[in-house]
Amino acid sequence: MKKTVLTGSALVMALALSACGSSGGGSSSKTQTLTVLAASSLTETFTDLQKTFEQQHKGVKVTMVFDSSATLEQQAAQQAPGDILATADKKTMDQAKTDKGISGDATEFATNTMVLAIPAANPAKLTSFAGIQAKGIDFLTCVPTAPCGSAAAALLKTNGITHAPASQEVDVKSVLQKIESGEADAGMVYVTDVTAAGAKVSSLPVPHSSDSPNTYWIAATAGTKQAKLSQEFIALLEGREGQGVLSKAGFGKP
Amino acid sequence: MAAVFLVLPLVALVWAAPLGSFWSTITTHESLQALRLSVFTSTVAAAACVVLGLPLAWILARLDFPGRQILRGLVTVPLVLPPVVAGVALLSAFGRMGLIGKPLLDLWDIRIPYTTFAVVIAHTFVSLPFFVISVEGALRATPKSLEVAAATLGADRWTTFRRVTLPLAMPGVVAGVVLAWARSLGEFGATITFAGNYPGTTRTMPLEVYTQLQGDQDTATALSLVLLIVCIAVLVCLRERWLGVR
C-alpha cells in the first residue's frame, strides 16, 4: 500500500516536472518580453501603444512600468530590468546618459504643458491660477526632483506665487489622484493628465506654461537585451500611429 | 546564513555612505528640518500612546468582560496592516472627504491632511498597538496579590494603580514607549499616504530619504545611516529585554 502511494506521488511529480519543462521551454522559444520604463504622465498613451505593439508583434509581451522619471532613471542606471526609458524632461534623460543608464542617443517625441487641475465640483471656487494663494487652499505639486515638480516650481516663480504647496507628491499621478478624490483643492499637472482623468477633473490655465513646455525623451537602456524590439517600439512611437495617439491625448509635437 | 542575510545590507549601507561628506550632508537645512520634525512627531506620538494606550492596556490586562479577546484582536490589526493601507484607512476617516474629516471641514473648517498633526495621527495609529501589547504583557506579569494587599490596606483603585501596579510594570511601559517612538520614527507608508510630503510640516526622515533617493543618492544614504544609528541606539536601550544581556 505504502509503495503504491510512493509510486503514485513519484508519478505525479514526474508529470508536474515534465509539464514545467515543456511550458518553460515553449515560452522561452516563443514569448519575448519588452519592458518599458515610462514617466507616469505617459500611462494612458503608452498603455494604448502597448496593445498596438503586441498586436503587431505576435509572441511579444510588453511590460509597462510607470513611475516618476527620476525613480526610473535611477533604476535604469542600476541596470534594473528595462529595455526602454521614457522621461518627462531632458534633464532626467541627460542624467541617465551621465549615469550610463542609456548608451545611445535619446530622441524627443512629445511635449506637454502644465495646467492647474481642480476637482470638477471646484470646492474652493477657484477662477484663476493666482487664486491658489488664498488662505485655506490646499494645492499640490510634484517633488522638485520629478520633472512635473521642477516645472511647477519654475512656473510658480514666473507667476510670482510664493504660497507653498500643501504637499509635494512623488509623481504626477499621485497629484491627480488627490484631486480626483477631493483631498486637495488644486494641483499642478500636465494638460494630458486632465484629459485622461475625464469628467472628475477640470482645469484652469497656468500663465506662461507654454513658454517652456516639458519635452519627452525616449532611448533604449544600456542594459537591454532586446535592442531590435526596442528600436521597433521607438519607431512605432515616432511614426504616424504613435504620434496620433499622443496628439489625441493632448501632447504637443516635438 | 540568516545572520549574514540580515547584517549584510546594513554593512553595505555603511559602506555606501559618503564618509567624507557625511557631516555636511546630514547638517543641510533640509536634513535637519526633517530630523527635527521626525523627533518632534515621534515624541508627541509616543506621549499620545501613553495617554491613550495605558488605560486600554490596563483594561485588557485586568478586566474580564465579554468581547475582550475581540477587542485585543482589533487592537493588534494595525500591527500587521501594511502601513500604506493604514494611510488609506486614515484618509477614509480623517481625509477631507472622509467619514469624520468631511463634517470637520464643513462645520468648523478644520482640515487634517497636510499638517504636522496628521503626521502625529499616522504615527500614533501605527505605533499604539506596540505600546499596548508591551504594557499589557507587563501588567499581566505583576502579581494581583500585591494589588489585593494594597486594597485591603485601604488604597482605592487609582491609588493602587499609581503606587503599586504602575511602578511594577514600569520596565514594560518604558519598553513600550521606546518601541512606539522607534516605530514612529521609521513610519513611512501611512505618513506619505495620509499626511502628504512637504518640507517642514510633513516630510519626516523616511520621507526625506525617499525624496532624496530620486535626486541625490549620497544624501539618501547618509540619512539612512542616521536612522540606522538611531535604531541601534534604541536596541541598546532595550538590550535587557530582548537580548538577555544583564
Is residue B192 in a domain? yes
Number of separate domains in chain B: 1
- Name, in order, each residue with C-beta under 8 angstroms of B78's C-beta and a sequence gap of 6 or more: B86, B125, B126, B128, B129
Residue A82 Rama label (left phi>0; alpha psi -120 to 50; beta):
left
* Contact between chains at A74 and B213 (C-beta distance less than 8 A): yes
Size of interface A-B (CB pairs under 8 A): 61
Report the DSSP pairing between strands A32-39 and A60-67.
parallel
* Contact between chains at B215 and A145 (C-beta distance less than 8 A): yes
Chain A residues touching B192 at Cβ < 8 A: 170
Taking the C-alpha atoms of residue B35 and residue B111, their distance in angstroms, rounded to an integer, is 25
CA angle A64, A70, A75 (to 5 degrees): 60
Chain B residues touching A181 at Cβ < 8 A: 91, 95, 97
HEC string of A90-108? HHHHHHHHHCCCECCCCEE
Common-topology check for domains A31-111+215-248 and A114-205? yes
Is residue B226 in a domain? yes
Instruction: Report pLDDT digits (tens) over A184-228.
Output: 999 999 988 888 888 889 988 888 888 888 899 999 998 888 888
ipTM: 0.71
Q: What is the pLDDT of residue A28?
A: 44
Taking the C-alpha atoms of residue B217 and residue B210, their distance in angstroms, rounded to an integer, is 10
Taking the C-alpha atoms of residue B27 and residue B34, their distance in angstroms, rounded to an integer, is 10
Taking the C-alpha atoms of residue A100 and residue A78, their distance in angstroms, rounded to an integer, is 9
Is residue B7 in a domain? no
pLDDT band at B76 (very low <50, low <70, confident <90, very high): confident
Q: Which of B111, B202, B213 is opposite residue A167, by nearest beta carbon?
A: B202
Chain mean pLDDT for chain A: 83
Instruction: Report pLDDT digits (tens) over A230-245.
Output: 899 999 999 888 999 9
Is residue B16 in a domain? no
Taking the C-alpha atoms of residue B120 and residue B128, their distance in angstroms, rounded to an integer, is 11
Q: Does B82 touch chain A (CB under 8 A)?
A: no
Chain B residues touching A136 at Cβ < 8 A: 109, 111
- Name, in order, each residue with C-beta under 8 angstroms of A191's C-beta and a sequence gap of 6 or more: A112, A113, A114, A115, A203, A250
Instruction: Report pLDDT digits (tens) over A102-138.
Output: 888 889 999 989 999 999 888 888 888 888 888 888 8
Average pLDDT score over residue span A48-70 = 89
Contact status, residue B114 vs residue B201, Cβ threshold 8 Å: yes
Contact status, residue B217 vs residue B16, Cβ threshold 8 Å: no
Chain B residues touching A70 at Cβ < 8 A: 214-215
Q: What is the pLDDT of residue B13?
A: 81
In a 10 Å sphere around its CB, with 0-12 CB exposed, 13-18 middle and 19+ buried, how is residue A61 labelled?
Answer: middle
Is residue B73 in a domain? yes
Nearest to B188 by CA among B91, B55, B50, B87: B87
Q: Does A145 touch chain B (CB under 8 A)?
A: yes
HEC string of chain B? CHHHHHHHHHHHHHHHCCCCCHHHHHCCHHHHHHHHHHHHHHHHHHHHHHHHHHHHHHHHHHCCCCCHHHHHHHHHHHHHCCHHHHHHHHHHHHCCCCCCHHHHHHHHCCCCCCCHHHHHHHHHHHHHHHHHHHHHHHHHHCCHHHHHHHHHCCCCHHHHHHHHHHHHHHHHHHHHHHHHHHHHHHCCHHHHHHHCCCCCCCCCHHHHHHHHHHHCHHHHHHHHHHHHHHHHHHHHHCHHHHCCCC
- Give the residue numbers spanning the domain of B82: 41-242
Instruction: Return the CATH number at B231.
Output: 1.10.3720.10
- State the nearest Cα–Cα gap between A70 and chain B, in angstroms: 5
Q: Say whether pTM exceeds 0.80.
A: no
- State the nearest Cα–Cα gap between A138 and chain B, in angstroms: 8
Taking the C-alpha atoms of residue A145 and residue A32, their distance in angstroms, rounded to an integer, is 34
Is residue B17 in a domain? no
Chain A residues touching B211 at Cβ < 8 A: 143, 145, 168, 170
Q: Does A120 touch chain B (CB under 8 A)?
A: no
Domain borders along chain A are 31-111+215-248, 114-205
Highest mean pLDDT among A226-230, B47-51, B64-68, B209-213: B47-51
Is residue B1 in a domain? no
User: Residue A137: closest CA among chain B residues belongs to which residue?
Assistant: B111
Chain B residues touching A182 at Cβ < 8 A: 96-97
* Contact between chains at B96 and A68 (C-beta distance less than 8 A): no
- State the nearest Cα–Cα gap between A164 and chain B, in angstroms: 9
Is residue B6 in a domain? no
Per CATH, the architecture of A31-111+215-248 is what? 3-Layer(aba) Sandwich (3.40)
CATH of A114-205, one of 3.40.190.10, 3.30.70.2190, 3.20.20.70, 3.40.50.720: 3.40.190.10
Looking up cell 468648523, which residue turns up?
A: B108
